[in-house]
Amino acid sequence: MRRDIFQAIADPTRRAIISLIALQAMTPNAIAENFNSTRQAVSKHLRILTECELVKQEQKGREIYYILEIQKMKEIDKWLEQYRKIWESRFNQLDNLLSTIKKTKK
């Protein structure tokens, strides 16, 4: 089953994994050390992130490292941008209203 990236980031553990590997590539064992769950549970999260193409595996010698796929993160950012513009517009309206209220009180 193909999952989408929003399903992947819906889970707090997967968001934490993304945060970890955003800083540096890590092995599954190194990732698992950061959580109070089994290695198998972390592997399941990694599999979902891989299916969604948010992370990729890279073989280095005997070890497999997980690396963040920045382009997929940009896809999330692009989707959020539409809401960011709405929020900024509303904050600007609120700033203008507060300025108007402040001026009328003087």
Query: Given pLDDT bands bounded at 50, 70 and 90, which one contains residue 2?
Result: low
Each residue of 21-30: pLDDT tens digit? 999 999 999 9
Query: Given pLDDT bands bounded at 50, 70 and 90, which one contains residue 65?
Result: very high
Q: For tokens 């592997």, name the residue.
A: 43
User: What secondary structure, in 3-state letters, does 61-99 show?
Assistant: CCEEEEEECHHHHHHHHHHHHHHHHHHHHHHHHHHHHHH
CATH number for region 1-68: 1.10.10.10
Each residue of 75-104: pLDDT tens digit? 889 989 989 989 999 999 999 899 988 888
**pTM (two decimals):** 0.77
| Radius of gyration of the chain from its Cα atoms, rounded to whole angstroms | 20
C-alpha distances (whole Å) from 53 to each of 6, 69, 85, 91 are 11, 7, 27, 34
| Domain assignments of the chain as residue spans, ordered by start | 1-68, 70-106
Give CA–CA dist 87/93, Å, rounded.
10
Closest CA to 67 of 44, 46, 48: 46
